[in-house]
């Protein structure tokens, strides 16, 4: 009797293992893309996650940059981004975050267009599977600790372009030099898992081959950072635009100065 029970148990266990392997093509853990909120989350796409990038080549044309104005037109998001509607971001100095982001993004766009770069100004909702040579989302930070100061840039958890880390390094160099702000080392999981990077989960997200970065330009809740961002948006804008141009020149996509 015990031998029969052991045999039945073994058969059931073997069938379960076979089923799991078949479901995941031999990989029980499955395959996941960049998580929407943090590195530990796992969500398997319904189709081959790499089909969108297999044999991908850059489209012909001039260099292009997408600049997202963080929290701008949050009230117009589609149903899949409904949770963003009530997220107005930081505030300080009599300004909402989107207003500060708008001023900086507009100045960045102007400088890039002067260098014959194609620029798209984007609200919270970006076009489905949006592609550009560079995508940067402009934000400003906030904290209950009004002494907290600094900037930070971050790319996706999983960067299929393999270039976001290089862009981050270049931006950090230009930004710190131009603004005098220190780098805030506290990169949140919401930055690395930013919704616009989550191409497998959201229709309104960037194409995985877009070199993508999110920027926190300073703390609106800090008087010094606030003064820089509100009174002189051209300073952070110049730093970011020069960083993007250096990156594009390295990719042979912009004319060297």
Task: Judge whether 15 lies within some domain.
Answer: no
Residue 192 has pLDDT above 70, yes or no: yes
List, for residues 72-114, the tens digit of each pLDDT value. Answer: 999 999 999 999 998 889 999 999 999 999 999 999 999 999 9
Classify residue 201: in a domain, yes or no.
yes
Secondary structure of 200-247 in the HEC alphabet? CCCCCCECCCCEEEEEEEEECCCHHHHHHHHHCCHHHHHHHHHHHHHH
Model confidence over 20-61: pLDDT tens digits?
A: 333 333 332 332 222 244 443 335 454 555 677 888 999 999
The whole-number pLDDT of residue 48 equals 59
Q: Which single residue is written with the structure tokens 């076009």?
A: 127
Tell me, yes or no, whether 38 lies in a domain: no
In a domain, 53, yes or no: no
pLDDT at residue 52, rounded to an integer:
78
Judged against a pLDDT cut of 80, whether residue 201 lies above it is answered with yes
Domain count, the chain: 1
Q: What is the CA radius of gyration of the chain?
A: 22
Q: State which residues form the domain around 173.
A: 64-250
d(CA 208, CA 224): 36
CATH of the domain at 190: 3.40.630.40
Q: Does any domain span residue 150?
A: yes
Q: Establish if 5 belongs to a structural domain.
A: no
Is residue 106 a part of any domain in this protein?
yes
CA atoms within 13 A on the CB side of 112: 32
Whether 217 contacts 229, CB under 8 Å: yes
Task: Give domain status of residue 162, yes or no.
Answer: yes
Helix ranges restricted to H, the chain: 2-23, 97-114, 164-179, 189-192, 223-231, 234-250
Q: Tokens at residue 122, please?
A: 């984007």
């Amino acid at each position: 009797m015990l031998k029969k029970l052991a045999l039945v148990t073994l058969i059931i266990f073997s069938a379960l293992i076979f089923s799991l392997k078949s479901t995941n093509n031999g990989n029980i853990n499955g395959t996941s893309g960049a998580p929407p909120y943090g590195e530990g989350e796992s969500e398997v796409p319904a189709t081959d996650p790499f089909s969108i990038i297999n044999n991908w080549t850059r489209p012909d044309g001039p260099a292009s940059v997408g600049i997202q104005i963080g929290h701008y037109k949050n009230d117009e998001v589609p149903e899949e981004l409904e949770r963003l509607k009530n997220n107005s971001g930081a505030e300080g100095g009599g300004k909402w975050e989107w207003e500060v982001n708008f001023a900086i993004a507009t100045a960045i766009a102007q400088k890039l267009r002067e260098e014959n770069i194609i620029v798209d100004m984007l609200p919270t909702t970006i076009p489905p599977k949006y592609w550009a040579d560079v995508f940067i989302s402009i934000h400003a930070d906030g904290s209950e600790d009004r002494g907290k100061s600094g900037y930070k840039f971050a790319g996706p958890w999983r960067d299929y372009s393999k270039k976001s880390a290089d862009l981050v390094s270049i931006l950090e160099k230009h930004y710190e030099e131009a603004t005098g702000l220190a780098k805030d080392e506290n990169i949140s999981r919401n930055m690395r898992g930013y919704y616009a990077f989550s191409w497998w989960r959201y229709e309104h997200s960037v194409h995985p081959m877009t070199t993508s970065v999110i920027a926190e330009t300073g703390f609106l809740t800090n008087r010094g950072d606030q003064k820089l961002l509100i009174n002189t948006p051209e300073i952070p804008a110049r730093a970011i635009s020069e960083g993007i141009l250096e990156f594009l020149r390295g990719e042979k996509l912009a004319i060297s100065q």
